Amino acid sequence: MPEIHITNLYERKIISKSLEKTALELIHENFIDWMHACGKKGRCTTCKMIVIEGQNNLSELTEPETKYREQGRLAENERLSCQAKVLGDIKIKVADINKFPHMDYSD
């Protein structure tokens, strides 16, 4: 069962029982507030996650992610959490620019 480890949310860990869900679906199912301004449609980058480990455990880049990569708006170590399905263990963090003021982050 894939595990999402979110380092700057006090090492929070989520276990997934599915290989069909995006990182954002799993994050929300676990009641973690995570920015998603366009409503998970791949039309913004506010849901991006910084991938520290496990890039190969995510599904292939989607069309919107490829577009943002080409525009330089999504770095090599970043993925859109609403697009990337979690196929194995990943270690991620919330980007500084997408932190909520009401949330407590550990770095």
Q: Which residues bind ligand FES (CB under 6 A)?
A: 36-38, 40-44, 46-47, 80, 82
With respect to ligand FES, which residue has the nearer C-beta, 8 or 46? Answer: 46
With respect to ligand FES, which residue has the nearer C-beta, 13 or 43? Answer: 43
Query: Which long-range contacts (C-beta less than 8 Å, at least 24 apart) are formed by 68-75?
Result: 73/45, 74/45, 74/48
Q: To the nearest whole angstrom, how small is the minimum distance from the Cβ of residue 28 to ligand FES?
A: 11
Q: To the nearest whole angstrom, how small is the minimum distance from the Cβ of residue 80 to ligand FES?
A: 5
Q: To the nearest whole angstrom, how small is the minimum distance from the Cβ of residue 45 to ligand FES?
A: 6
With respect to ligand FES, which residue has the nearer C-beta, 9 or 44? Answer: 44
| Three state DSSP letters for 79-96 | EECCCCEECCCEEEEECH
With respect to ligand FES, which residue has the nearer C-beta, 13 or 41? Answer: 41
List strand residue ranges (DSSP E) for 7-104, in order.
12-15, 48-53, 78-80, 90-94
Q: To the nearest whole angstrom, how small is the minimum distance from the Cβ of residue 92 to ligand FES?
A: 14
Tokens representing 60?
């292939």
**Partners of residue 48 on adjacent β-strands:** 80
